[in-house]
């Protein structure tokens, strides 16, 4: 494949793509992994506390605050990424249709309200998901993220060209 041939993407962002990108970002970020573990740990703790109380003293012995804490933990586990994606979707929709060019110099994004050029040195890694390519910054928190939806590619062979561009400029192929 020719690495010097630019790849074009045209898309309007969807909630699912943002959600997928955030999920990938959290999995590949030390902070995201720790937050995920803490939330699961809290959920397990509250579940154990409820189960132990029910088994030893009956269901009536579990007070409302324990049930509320368990419910809030479960809702946070399920909802934080979804709500974050919903918030980002509002911003992305405000920008309108995205026209992205990926080439040897970096990534150029043009929308109805915004133009941005980012050099390859800004990103340190790319992770490929089923629906998206996610570029992550090299900082410890991997806070910077760019989500490139695969459906925005004009042709199936563009996925291979995009992988080649990423590999050439970030030093490795996108990982899952």
The pLDDT of residue 7:
95
Q: Is residue 127 part of a domain?
A: yes
| pLDDT at residue 102 greater than cutoff 70 | yes
- How many distinct structural domains can be found in the chain? 2
How confident is the model over 121-144, as a mean pLDDT? 87
pLDDT range class, residue 25, cuts 50, 70, 90: confident
Tens-place pLDDT, residues 31-90: 777 777 887 787 788 778 778 877 887 877 777 877 787 778 777 777 777 888 888 889
Q: Is residue 106 part of a domain?
A: yes
Give residue for tokens 């793509």.
17
Last residue of one domain, picked from the residues 51, 68, 90: 90
pTM: 0.75
Percent of the chain residues topping a pLDDT of 90: 43
The pLDDT of residue 141:
65
Q: Is residue 1 part of a domain?
A: no
Q: Are residues 165 and 138 in the same domain?
A: yes
pLDDT range class, residue 28, cuts 50, 70, 90: confident
Q: Are residues 138 and 84 in the same domain?
A: no
Q: Is residue 110 part of a domain?
A: yes
Owning domain of residue 58: 30-90
Last residue of one domain, picked from the residues 71, 90, 109: 90
What mean pLDDT, rounded, does the chain reach?
Answer: 85
CA pair distance 132, 151, nearest whole angstrom: 8
Q: Are residues 51 and 107 in the same domain?
A: no
The pLDDT of residue 113:
93
CA pair distance 114, 10, nearest whole angstrom: 15
| pLDDT at residue 12 greater than cutoff 70 | yes
Q: Is residue 160 part of a domain?
A: yes
DSSP 42: H
The pLDDT of residue 75:
79
Q: Is residue 133 part of a domain?
A: yes
The CATH number of whichever domain residue 107 belongs to comes to 2.30.29.30
Q: Are residues 119 and 57 in the same domain?
A: no
DSSP 120: G
119 or 52, greater pLDDT: 119
Last residue of one domain, picked from the residues 48, 69, 90: 90
Q: Is residue 140 part of a domain?
A: yes
Evaluate the CA torsion angle 102, 105, 111, 116 in order and state its sign. positive
Q: Is residue 20 part of a domain?
A: no
Q: Determine contact, residues 120/34, Cβ cutoff 8 Å.
A: no
């Amino acid at each position: 494949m020719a690495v010097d041939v630019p790849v074009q993407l045209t898309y309007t962002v969807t909630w699912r793509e943002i959600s997928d990108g955030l999920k990938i970002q959290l999995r590949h970020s030390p902070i995201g992994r720790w937050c995920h573990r803490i939330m699961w740990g809290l959920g397990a703790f509250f579940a154990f506390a409820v189960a132990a109380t029910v088994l030893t003293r009956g269901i009536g012995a579990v007070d409302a605050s324990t049930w509320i804490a368990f419910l809030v933990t479960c809702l946070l586990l399920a909802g934080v990424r979804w709500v974050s994606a919903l918030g980002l979707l509002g911003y992305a929709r405000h920008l309108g249709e995205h026209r992205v060019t990926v080439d040897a110099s970096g990534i150029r994004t043009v929308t109805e309200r915004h133009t941005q050029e980012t050099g390859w040195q800004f990103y340190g890694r790319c992770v490929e998901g089923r629906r998206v390519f996610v570029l992550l910054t090299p900082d410890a928190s991997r806070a910077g993220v760019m989500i490139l939806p695969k459906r925005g590619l004009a042709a199936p062979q563009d996925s291979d060209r995009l992988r080649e561009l990423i590999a050439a400029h970030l030093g490795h192929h996108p990982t899952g």
